[in-house]
Amino acid sequence: MSELKSGSNLEKVLKAGHFAFTGECGPPKGANVKHLKEKFKYLKGNVDCVNLTDNQTAVVRMSSLAASALMVTEGLEPNFQMVCRDRNRLAMMSDILGAHALGIRNMLCLSGDHQSFGNHPQAKNVHDIDSMQLIALVKKMRDEGKFMNGDDIDVPPELFVGAACNPFADPYEYRVYRLANKITAGADFIQTQCIFNMEKFRDFMKKVVDMGLHERCYILAGVTPMKNAGMANFMKKFVPGMDIPDALIARLKGVEKKDQAEEGIKFALEQVAEFKEMEGVAGVHMMAIEWEHMVPEIAERAGVLPRPVV
Amino acid sequence: MIVADRKSLEEILGMVADNKKILILGCKGCVTVCNVGGLKEVEILTSSLKIARKKAGNPIDIDIQVLERQCDTEYVAELGEAVNDYDSVISMACGVGPQFLSEMYKTQTFYPAVNTTFFGGATQHGVWEERCAGCGTCGIHMFGGLCPIARCAKSLLHGPCGGSSKGICEVNADTECIWDSIVKKKMEAGQLADLMGVRGLKDWTTARDGGPRRSIREELVQGNI
Amino acid sequence: MRLSYSADVKIIQVPCTGRVDILHLLNAVEDGADGVYVAGCLEGECHYIEGNLKARRKVAHVKKILTELGIEPERVEMYNLSSAQGARFAEIANEMAERIRALGPTPVKNHTAA
Ligand code: SF4
Ligand code: SF4
């Protein structure tokens, strides 16, 4: 095992060559710590780390930094998400230092959904730097122990740096290059957007492997189990950059309403099984949106339990 | 040019609700070109306000004038003290006009009749689009001549975000994803390498973030050359 | 054939409806006209190619302004007919007069100070 950059559980699992299994959790729309901790219970022991979303879809929620810190105290490992929409470089660097101080060791760098999607569309957005530069910024702080102005950092933050990749956004031919650039910028791991179009993803991974990107970075395939055909339809229509094949919608519709959730889980499990075998895929990022209580069952049936202790 | 949109009649009527005699001032610069504050628009606004005030049983006297430019003290000075003969003045120039006026005629009230929106041009008759955000450090040559600062909703510098779909920006169906165009142009030209690598963080001190900006041409300050 | 049409209609002749300006319409309303309409040639038969189409767009714009001012947009209208359609001319005049009568007098009055 090469030298650890952050010492996070996720880093150790991946470097030990295990197939990673990460989860996701949206902080509450309020200061409801009790509710948040309940969600943690379903995830504990079933995933290697948990993404704490940062005002996801531009809807105000408890800060991802605070929720990540709470997670640390509960004995789970957070993956602290940060978007470029809400913070300038000062706030980013100070929150990165704060994250390390609070025991957080993974971080995911994102552009962030535009504020017009959220519940405060009148807001001014920041976008002082973009997600590519955020990756490079964390790497610089960690590896060089320097702020962006070149000043030394007194105890640099140690973070395992993640980035997102959406192979289903356009232009498709460019996506693999954007991924390569994120790796060059300093991404240690990648979590992809939810995958539904397997055919396209297979093609994408082939390109990734051809370019040798999987050898420079760990790629976790994003999976979201569909709760019903309605959810699939909604995502297809309203979530930009989401590729949901009609065949999947037809498959969900093909069973009785009460059985659609099970069909959605079955599809997700088939995906996990394929990802385990797919060249270049180092793990799965399971985004069970507002469905955290299903994670133990999904993990069990996906055959990823028990999670490795490293 | 600077592009603007006329405010609603309701808003303008509200501004001059207590006035009996006003002046409406047009501008022959950008706002004439983008059909929002030239002579024609001044006349239409004048007639509209008169109709509204007659209807309300409270007629208003309106004089009109169109300055060569309202962003130039030389032309603003032409108004002279006559400007104080009015209860208030409505300027149909971009946001610069009513400020130059306010600075020169300190006791008069100048209302903006337009909402100044962006730097851009007409892409077809009646349609204007933003092209520049005045960031103060132009780098469009690095992006195939297209500006991601002004034209990408997130001012990204390293390619399209995950919401780019079929050339359309995630923000709304009427907005093109400029990064889609930049990437395609660069790929077609075989210059994809230009878009790779991580650019240094943008220096926003030359943009509005650095505080109000000023341009000084020493040679002109000293006199005409 | 003598045609009678509403005596309330005052005709202003222009060489082509393309000559009609937004301001002509607005000023008429401003000066207390209860209604204004433009009678242009049939669409596609404009001697100046698209004068009547421009007039239609101007009428639409004036309707928008009136709506914003809380005045019935129906007080302003665009009609198309050919110079040979005398009967149609009378019909339109009566139709418009009827419409305005139903709407009542214009709310834009030259109030005298109380
Ligand atoms: S880079 Fe700056 S100056 Fe150049 S077009 Fe874009 S916003 Fe304007
Ligand atoms: S979709 Fe394109 S233009 Fe819109 S924010 Fe993303 S990259 Fe920018």
Domains of chain A, CATH where assigned: 13-300 (3.20.20.220)
Whether A39 contacts A295, CB under 8 Å? no
Are residues B165 and A169, on separate chains, in Cβ contact within 8 Å? yes
Whether A7 contacts A105, CB under 8 Å? yes
Nearest to C26 among B8, B51, B57 (CB): B51
Q: Is B82 left (phi over 0), alpha (psi -120 to 50) or beta?
A: alpha
- First CA to last CA across chain B, in angstroms? 26
Instruction: Among B43, B48, B51, B62, pick the best mutation site for testing chain C contact (most C Cβ within 10 A).
Output: B51
Report how far residue A299's alpha carbon sits from residue A23's, in angstroms, rounded to the nearest whole number.
10
3-state helix vs strand vs coil in chain B, percent to 5: 35, 20, 45
Chain B residue closest to C69 (CA)? Answer: B52
Structure token digits, residue A76? 């789970």
Whether A290 contacts A57, CB under 8 Å? no
Q: Residue C4: which pLDDT band, with cuts at 50, 70 and 90?
A: confident
Contact with chain C for residue B9, Cβ under 8 A? yes
Q: Is the peptide bond before C73 cis (omega within 30 degrees of 0)?
A: no
Q: Is B76 left (phi over 0), alpha (psi -120 to 50) or beta?
A: alpha
DSSP labels, C9-38: ------S-GGG--HHHHHHHHHTT-S-EEE
Angle made by CA atoms B142, B148, B151, in degrees to the nearest 5: 145
Are residues C65 and B52, on separate chains, in Cβ contact within 8 Å? no
What are the pLDDT digits (tens) for A131-142?
Answer: 999 999 999 999
Which domain range does residue C59 map to? 8-77
Q: How many CB pairs under 8 A join B and C?
A: 44
| Residue (of A81, A71, A82, A73) closest to A47 by Cα position | A71
Taking residues C92-104, report their average pLDDT.
95
Give how far A107 is from chain B: nearest CA, Å: 18
pLDDT in tens, chain B (225 residues): 999 999 999 999 999 999 999 999 999 999 999 999 999 999 999 999 999 999 999 999 999 999 999 999 999 999 999 999 999 999 999 999 999 999 999 999 999 999 999 999 999 999 999 999 999 999 999 999 999 999 999 999 999 999 999 999 999 999 999 999 999 999 999 999 999 999 999 999 999 999 999 999 999 998 877
Chain C residue closest to B51 (CA)? Answer: C30
Whether A225 contacts A294, CB under 8 Å? yes
Look at residue C114 in the predicted model and tell me its pLDDT.
41
CA distance readout (Å), A18 to A143, A302, A310, B107, C63: 25, 15, 10, 76, 71
Look at residue C6 in the predicted model and tell me its pLDDT.
82
Nearest to B44 among C22, C70, C107 (CB): C22
Residue B181 in 3-state DSSP? helix
Exposure string of B121-136, with b = 16+ CB inside 10 Å and e = fewer, is: eeeeeeebeebeeebe
Is chain C touching chain A, with at least 3 CB–CB pairs below 8 Å? Answer: no
Which run of H or of E encompasses A15?
helix A9-15
Residue C85 resides in a domain: no
What residues in B contact A148, CB-CB < 8 Å?
201
Taking residues C75-95, report their average pLDDT.
93
B153 lines ligand 2 (CB under 6 A): yes
Q: Going by DSSP bridges, is the β-strand pair A106-110/A160-165 parallel, antiparallel, or unpaired?
A: parallel
Report how far residue C101's alpha carbon sits from residue C34's, in angstroms, rounded to the nearest whole number.
9
B64 lines ligand 1 (CB under 6 A): no
Report how far residue C38's alpha carbon sits from residue A259's, in angstroms, rounded to the nearest whole number.
65
Give how far A114 is from chain B: nearest CA, Å: 7
Q: How many CB pairs under 8 A join A and B?
A: 106
What sections of C1-114 are H helices per DSSP? 22-30, 51-68, 86-103
| Residue (of A118, A138, A131) closest to A6 by Cα position | A138
Contact with chain B for residue A128, Cβ under 8 A? yes
Distance between Cα B86 and ligand 2 center (Å)? 48
Report how far residue A248's alpha carbon sits from residue C72's, in angstroms, rounded to the nearest whole number.
53
Kindly state the DSSP code that residue B219 receives in the 8-state scheme.
H
Report how far residue A170's alpha carbon sits from residue A123's, in angstroms, rounded to the nearest whole number.
27
Q: Is B47 left (phi over 0), alpha (psi -120 to 50) or beta?
A: alpha
B34 CB-near residues (< 8 Å, 6+ apart): B1, B2, B3, B4, B122, B128
For a mutational test of ligand 2's pocket, the pick from B151, B157, B161, i.e. the residue with the most ligand atoms closer than 8 A to its C-beta, is B161
pLDDT in tens, chain A (310 residues): 468 999 999 999 999 999 999 999 999 999 999 999 999 999 999 999 999 999 999 999 999 999 999 999 999 999 999 999 999 999 999 999 999 999 999 999 999 999 999 999 999 999 999 999 999 999 999 999 999 999 999 999 999 999 999 999 999 999 999 999 999 999 999 999 999 999 999 999 999 999 999 999 999 999 999 999 999 999 999 888 899 999 999 999 999 999 999 999 999 999 999 999 999 999 999 999 889 999 999 999 999 999 999 9
Q: Residue C109: which pLDDT band, with cuts at 50, 70 and 90?
A: confident
Are residues B154 and A169, on separate chains, in Cβ contact within 8 Å? no
Considering all CA atoms of chain C, what is the largest pairwise distance in Å, rounded to the nearest integer?
A: 51
Whether C17 contacts C42, CB under 8 Å? no
B167 lines ligand 2 (CB under 6 A): no
Report how far residue A173's alpha carbon sits from residue A167's, in angstroms, rounded to the nearest whole number.
9
Which run of H or of E encompasses A81?
strand A78-83
Are residues B197 and A184, on separate chains, in Cβ contact within 8 Å? yes
Would you tell me the crossing angle of helices C51-68 and B39-55 to the nearest 10 degrees?
40
Q: How many domains does chain C have?
A: 1
Report how far residue A106's alpha carbon sits from residue A65's, in angstroms, rounded to the nearest whole number.
11
Nearest to B51 among C22, C30, C111 (CB): C30
What are the pLDDT digits (tens) for C21-58?
Answer: 999 999 999 999 999 999 999 999 998 999 999 999 99
Residue A159 in 3-state DSSP? coil
Q: What is the CA radius of gyration of chain B?
A: 22
- From start to end of B88-153, where are the E strands? 88-91, 110-112, 114-124, 127-132
Question: Which chains touch C (3+ CB pairs under 8 A)?
Answer: B
Report how far residue A265's alpha carbon sits from residue B83's, in angstroms, rounded to the nearest whole number.
74
Residue B18 in 3-state DSSP? coil
Look at residue B93 in the predicted model and tell me its pLDDT.
98
Q: Residue C3: which pLDDT band, with cuts at 50, 70 and 90?
A: confident
Q: Residue C2: which pLDDT band, with cuts at 50, 70 and 90?
A: low
Q: Going by DSSP bridges, is the β-strand pair A78-83/A50-52 parallel, antiparallel, or unpaired?
A: parallel
What residues in B contact A131, CB-CB < 8 Å?
156, 158, 161
Q: Which CATH number among 3.40.50.2300, 3.40.50.300, 1.10.3290.10, 3.60.15.10 corresponds to the domain B2-117?
A: 3.40.50.2300
Chain B residue closest to A133 (CA)? Answer: B198
Where do the structural domains in chain B lie, given as residue ranges?
2-117, 133-209
Question: Which chains touch B (3+ CB pairs under 8 A)?
Answer: A, C
Question: Which chains touch A (3+ CB pairs under 8 A)?
Answer: B
Residue B2 in 3-state DSSP? strand
Question: Would the CA dihedral through B148, B150, B155, B157 be positive or negative?
Answer: positive
Q: Going by DSSP bridges, is the β-strand pair B114-124/B127-132 parallel, antiparallel, or unpaired?
A: antiparallel
B1 lines ligand 2 (CB under 6 A): no
Look at residue A54 in the predicted model and tell me its pLDDT.
98
Residue A12 in 3-state DSSP? helix
pLDDT tops 60 at residue C113: no
